[in-house]
């Protein structure tokens, strides 16, 4: 009977020890796998890279021109809308020197209504149109930068690259911004 008790206690100790060993081994393997998966991380200042691209200046100028054209179109339509509104208001005045015929009045009211709708559409769609235009123009540039980052990261055995603006701390030795600029054939004055 005593032997059976000792065997039972010994087996319980072995099972607890064995399960602790399995758990410890599992943690060791998980941490080794996690370390292998994360590997080295690189950091890049994407804003600096973009600002150095020669084509970005052309894109910015083009966007500025597009924005100004939108503003000019809005101002022309707003000015015409005010003129029509003033003419209609003046024609309602009984002492007005020039009275509009009912046909002219209807035509001006219709034009005013159309202009109001166009102004509202310009206002609502203006920002979205500008955003779409910017995506279209800068999309190719971002693609070139992304490709250069991938090449540099692969060449230098980095498993991941993060933008510096998203990181609180980084090791300056892992900053690949100069390498990305070099990959894009951009020389930065020192």
Residues 138 and 149 in one domain: yes
pLDDT band per the 50, 70, 90 thresholds, residue 45 = very high
CB-facing half-sphere around the CA of 47: CA atoms within 13 A: 3
Q: Is residue 184's pLDDT more than 80? A: yes
Tell me the pairing of strands 41-44 and 160-163: parallel
Residues 83 and 32 in one domain: no
**Ranges 17-21, 105-109, 112-116, 141-145: which has the least confidence:** 17-21
CA angle 112, 118, 121 (to 5 degrees): 145
What is the domain range of residue 104? 39-183
**Ranges 66-70, 72-76, 84-88: which has the least confidence:** 84-88
Q: What is the CATH number of the domain that holds 117?
A: 3.30.910.20
Residues 110 and 160 in one domain: yes
Residues 28 and 54 in one domain: no
Structure tokens at 27: 């943690």
From 39, 40, 43, 38, select the one nearest 176 (Cα to Cα): 43
Residues 126 and 173 in one domain: yes
Phi/psi at 88 (5° precision): -65, -40
Q: Bridge partners of 41?
A: 160
Residue 190 lies in a domain: no
Residue 58 lies in a domain: yes
Residues 63 and 13 in one domain: no
User: What mean pLDDT is predicted for residues 10-17?
Assistant: 47
Residue 168 lies in a domain: yes
Residue 9 lies in a domain: yes
Residue 165 lies in a domain: yes
Round the average pLDDT of the chain to a whole number and report it: 77
Residue 20 lies in a domain: yes
Residues 16 and 44 in one domain: no
Q: Is residue 104's pLDDT more than 50? A: yes
pLDDT band per the 50, 70, 90 thresholds, residue 96 = low
Tokens 């101002």 identify what position? 75
Residue 126 lies in a domain: yes
Residues 70 and 118 in one domain: yes
Q: Is residue 153's pLDDT more than 60? A: yes
Residues 56 and 30 in one domain: no
Residues 64 and 17 in one domain: no
The domain total for the chain is 2
pTM for the structure as a whole: 0.55
Q: Which helix (H) or strand (E) holds 165?
A: none
Q: Which residue has the higher pLDDT, 116 or 96?
A: 116
| Rounded Cα–Cα distance for residues 79 and 77 (Å) | 5
Residues 7 and 75 in one domain: no
Residue 188 lies in a domain: no
| Rounded Cα–Cα distance for residues 61 and 65 (Å) | 6
Residues 110 and 27 in one domain: no
């Amino acid at each position: 009977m005593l032997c059976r008790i000792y065997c039972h206690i010994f087996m319980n100790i072995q099972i607890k020890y064995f399960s602790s060993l399995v758990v410890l081994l599992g943690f060791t393997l998980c941490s080794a796998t996690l370390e292998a998966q994360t590997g080295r991380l690189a950091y890049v200042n994407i804003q600096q890279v973009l600002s150095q691209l020669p084509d970005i200046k052309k894109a910015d100028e083009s966007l500025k021109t597009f924005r100004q054209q939108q503003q000019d179109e809005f101002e022309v339509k707003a000015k015409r809308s005010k003129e029509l509104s003033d003419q209609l208001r003046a024609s309602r005045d009984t002492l007005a020197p020039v009275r509009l015929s009912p046909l002219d009045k209807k035509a001006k009211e219709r034009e005013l209504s159309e202009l109001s709708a166009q102004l509202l559409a310009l206002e609502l769609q203006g920002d979205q149109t500008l955003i779409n235009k910017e995506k279209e123009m800068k999309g190719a540039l971002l693609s070139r930068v992304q490709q250069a980052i991938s090449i540099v990261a692969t060449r230098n055995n980095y498993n991941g690259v993060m933008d510096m603006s998203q990181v609180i701390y980084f090791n300056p030795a892992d900053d690949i911004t100069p390498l990305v600029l070099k990959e894009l054939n951009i020389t930065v004055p020192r």
